[in-house]
Structure 1
Amino acid sequence: TSGLADPTAVAEIFLVEGDIQKAFVLDGVLTLVDAAHIIQHLDEEKPEGVINEAVRQLALADRILLNKCDLVDGPTLQEVQTRISAINAGAPIRRTVNSMTDMEFLMGIQAFSLDHASDIRGDLLRGSLNHRHDDRVGSVCLDVVGDVDKAEFDAWLQSLLRSRGSDIFRCKGVLAVSGFAHQYVFQGIHSVLSIASHRPWASDEERRCKLIFIGKELDKHDLVNGFMDCKLPVWSCE
């Protein structure tokens, strides 16, 4: 994305239009960032209820090219990268000059595939749990051992997206569902949601649920409490 582009409407089509899904694949959202000017755009004051477009583009990104790195000093570059990670903790950032990078970073992202949606890194989850920042847009991650009740989870997530869908830019997760041998994977853009059965849990694999939400004014405690109401207790044999 660049300029005033908002990829949300285009990306949503790939989640809901069956004919388009048969003919095309949405590989991912790539956002190009001007390292020399991004902070002033992130700090722009917007009217109440209006999301900063630069923040929205970063929040929706699957990969980020941090360009013009030769025009800023080291501390400024680190501040820029820290600000970006505070908004979108899950998107890899590649520093570039003149947007030069290898094609492997740009292509084959498969951000909307089941394998990618189920691949939520442990270091990302641990980092998000302890992260605090002042921006209205950020990431909330959950990593919980045990199973969820599918009906309870479906009802909670659908209710959440109905009431807060405009504020939740991206969400995805992998679930251990009680009574099912396969992983369940979900991903969404605003209120548009896709849920599918994925691979079986391995016999020596710990069943757990991993989720990430990226959006505006997310309340971590509300998300955790809502999710935990869907979770079944983990019984000990001791």
Structure 2
Amino acid sequence: MADDEPPQLLELDSVPEAGPSTKNYDRPKVPITLLTGYLGAGKSTLLQYILTAEHGYKIAVCMNDFGDTTDIEGVYRHPSKSLTLSDPTTQTTSSSFLSLPNGCLCCSVKDLGIAAIEEMVASAPGGVDWVVVELTGVADPGPIVRTFWANEEMGDLMLDGVICVVDSRNVLTQLAEEREAGEINECQKQVACADVILLNKVDLVKPEQLSKVESTIRTLNPTLRVHHTTQSRMPLGDLFNIRAFSDSAGTGVRESQSQTPHNNHDHQYDHDHEHEHDDGLPHHSKITTTLIPLPPLTSFQFAKTKEFLETLLWDRKYPSAEGSKTNSAPEILRTKGYITLQDGTSHVLQGVVDLFELKEVPKSEKEKVGDGKLVFIGRGVGEELKARFVEFVGL
């Protein structure tokens, strides 16, 4: 088959009706990855690879109306082979549910809810290893991540993580784009909300430029796993089952300390105007990051930590020692951390916007947990947050 010819698409005669009998709660849940990235970063190239390469995985790819370009539509859409999949939650339908020769599935996510994605997975012959949901290039991923994570009707599905594809040539310019009234732009939000970054198009930049890009990305989000890619190609097995929202090893907090050049001090930056950082890089972003080291906490301090998080994230206020809520707090995009207690237990913290979870680490996984620490990523995060936390918890 010539490279410019579309892959052969196999038409399914029908989509089996999904029901309670199709669920098996004893089997591992299928991981869902949310794929984000600014326009032109390489998301469509990654999806094209997933849908055409013989990589050995059965992946269900939910594309944002089949990609951003007519080239993608030309590869994957075929009017005579489109099917209809109903979404029982919205009474709408999604067309173009296709089964490809390499075992992958492809559908449009336009008007497609979580229930319909679950139905697609349950209906796939032989099951599915992984679900990838593409977000638009200008989407703020925070509310979308929150929706998937908070949904209690995921059934056999599990939010696994957020992958952001970054254009190494243009990302510094994209991060610096101004918004009215100090708004955080979409590219900054995408980096801040990600668990994994693909620094794409590394073949098109010089090593010193790539170093600047990676340092800036890690400054914005020090918990990231970063991969260098050309044409968005890398072993797919490294992109899923990262368990960023369900595993004590999935937050990336401990791993990041050996990867970022800023691991010897708290990550506190103020980027309201362009300036030179200690690494010589100009920074434009209004996103700031703070890492707060934690000693083993008493049960009382742990309760105070939860109270601080609830007030900070739910009310956007700082709690005071007297029980009142004080002035407005920063806008938080992501929260991560490990918390160890003096009684020997440990907890992993994961948060998106105003939603957070403290989950006790099983005894079998305690060796994965490093020293206690909290990481806050958002606008206006800095010394005041750290000082108020330390004072309120009594550290």
| TM bin (shorter chain) | 0.7 to 0.9
Q: 2 CA distance for matches of 1:112 and 1:176?
A: 18
Per-residue displacement from partner, 1:176-225 (whole Å, max 9, x unpaired)?
245x4421222111111112222349999999521111111202342244
Runs of 5+ consecutive residues of structure 1 not aligned to the other structure: 233-238
In structure 1, give the amino acid aligned to 2:140. D
Q: Secondary structure at the match of 2:177?
A: coil
Q: 2 CA distance for matches of 1:29 and 1:63?
A: 6
Q: 1 CA distance for matches of 2:230 and 2:368?
A: 42
Q: Which has the higher contact order (CA 8 A, sep 6+)?
A: 1
Q: Secondary structure at the match of 1:32?
A: strand
More divergent stretch after superposition (93-102 vs 169-178): 169-178
Which residue is 1:153 aligned to? 305
Q: Offset of 1:110 from its aligned partner?
A: 1.0
Q: 1:138 aligns with which of 282, 285, 288?
A: 288
| Structure with higher helix content | 1
| Superposition map of 1:10-89 within 5 A | 10-20=144-154, 22-89=155-222
**Is contact 2:163-2:195 (8 Å) kept?**
yes
Compared CA separation, residues 71 and 57, structure 1 to 2 (3 A): same
Runs of 4+ in 1 over 6 A off after TM superposition: 201-207
Q: 2 CA distance for matches of 1:207 and 1:116?
A: 10
Runs of 5+ consecutive residues of structure 2 not aligned to the other structure: 1-35, 38-136, 272-284, 318-328
Identity across matched positions, percent: 26
Compared CA separation, residues 227 and 76, structure 1 to 2 (3 A): same
Q: Secondary structure at the match of 2:234?
A: coil
More divergent stretch after superposition (82-91 vs 181-190): 181-190
Q: 1 CA distance for matches of 2:292 and 2:355?
A: 21
Which residue is 2:352 aligned to? 189
Q: 1 CA distance for matches of 2:368 and 2:199?
A: 37
Name which one, 1 or 2, has greater alpha-carbon Rg: 2
Q: Offset of 1:90 from its aligned partner?
A: 1.3
Q: Secondary structure at the match of 2:311?
A: helix
TM value normalised by structure 1: 0.83
Compared CA separation, residues 231 and 116, structure 1 to 2 (3 A): farther
**Is contact 1:129-1:140 (8 Å) kept?**
yes
Compared CA separation, residues 119 and 107, structure 1 to 2 (3 A): closer
Q: 2 CA distance for matches of 1:69 and 1:159?
A: 42
**Is contact 1:15-1:193 (8 Å) kept?**
no
What number of residue pairs does the alignment pair up? 230
| Superposition map of 1:206-221 within 5 A | 209-221=372-384
Q: 2 CA distance for matches of 1:105 and 1:192?
A: 27
Q: 1 CA distance for matches of 2:243 and 2:184?
A: 27
Which residue is 1:199 aligned to? 362
